[in-house]
């Protein structure tokens, strides 16, 4: 997408500052534990990659993939699992890392899946909260930033066609 089409909503510096603070909190919370961190793909990959570098915790990484938007800018309302974990989650402390909660359908689906595998604990952290669009109630332990009801992308989130995930800032389409 052309960079005249969007404007920065949350700068890379602010993102890093927020993630550093959360990383320090999680380091305290999980002190002495061996945990499994699950970035939810695809959008959560960048947030998770930065977050784990701010966590001084013994951790393993697993991945889950989910898609509901396809190539559309609106959720289809139907969540598909696109990638599953390989390690058993039973008896483990699991940290689920997601880029954005919008309707809540994706996280509701993924949390149910993880809980069905009997982890000792499940904590969900999200970078961006678009609360106004929520359709289902979802328990989230921490959201770093609230975003307005605009099309946002960058820092892991894609623009139409699947591009621009590599932008270092969270940006919004100009209205
Ligand atoms: C986006 C985003 C979240 C989800 C949030 O994923 O990464 O996973 O939508 O929307 P919801 O709360 O309405 O479910 P998408 O389906 O676009 O897949 P992607 O992560 O591969 O971009």
Q: How far does CA 54 lie from the centroid of its chain?
A: 16
Number of Cβ within 10 Å of residue 67's Cβ equals 17
151 pLDDT higher than 80: yes
Tens of pLDDT, residue by residue over 25-35, are: 999 999 999 99
Which residues does a 6 A CB cutoff place in the pocket of ligand 1? 40, 42-43, 66-69, 75, 98-106, 158
Between the CA of 69 and the centroid of ligand 1 the distance, in Å, is: 6
The strand ranges marked E within the chain are 6-10, 34-41, 58-61, 64-67, 80-83, 93-101, 121-129, 142-146, 152-153, 170-173
How many Å lie between the centroid of ligand 1 and the Cα of residue 96? 14
Question: What are the structure tokens assigned to 168, written together?
Answer: 């270092």
Write the pLDDT tens digit of every residue in 72-130: 666 667 899 999 999 999 999 999 999 999 999 999 999 999 999 999 999 999 999 99
Average pLDDT of the chain? 95
Q: What is the pTM of this model?
A: 0.95
Question: Which residue's C-alpha comes closest to atom 8 of ligand 1?
Answer: 106
SS3 122: strand
Instruction: Collect all residues with Cβ–Cβ distance below 8 Å to 48 and sequence separation of at least 6.
Output: 37, 39, 61, 97
From 102, 129, 158, 164, active-site residue: 102
Residue 69 has pLDDT above 70, yes or no: no
Please state, in angstroms and rounded to a whole number, the distance separating the CA atoms of residues 153 and 43: 9
Cα(171) to ligand 1 centroid in Å equals: 16
**Domains of the chain and any CATH numbers:** 12-149 (3.40.50.2020)
Confirm whether 102 is a catalytic residue: yes
């Amino acid at each position: 997408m052309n960079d005249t089409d969007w404007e920065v909503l949350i700068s890379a510096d602010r993102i890093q500052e927020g993630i550093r603070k959360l990383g320090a909190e999680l380091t305290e919370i999980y002190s002495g534990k061996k945990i499994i961190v699950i970035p939810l793909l695809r959008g959560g990959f960048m947030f998770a990659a930065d977050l784990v570098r701010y966590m001084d915790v013994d951790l393993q990484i697993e991945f889950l993939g989910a898609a509901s938007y396809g190539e559309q800018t609106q959720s289809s309302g139907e969540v598909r699992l696109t990638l599953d974990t390989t390690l058993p989650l039973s008896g483990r402390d699991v940290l689920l890392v997601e880029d954005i909660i919008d309707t809540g359908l994706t996280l509701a689906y993924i949390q149910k899946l993880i809980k069905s595998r009997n982890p000792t604990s499940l904590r969900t952290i999200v970078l961006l909260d678009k609360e106004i669009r929520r359709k289902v109630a979802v328990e989230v332990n921490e959201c770093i930033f609230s975003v307005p009801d605009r099309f946002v992308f960058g820092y892991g989130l894609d623009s139409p066609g699947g591009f621009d995930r590599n932008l270092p800032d969270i940006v919004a389409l100009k209205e």
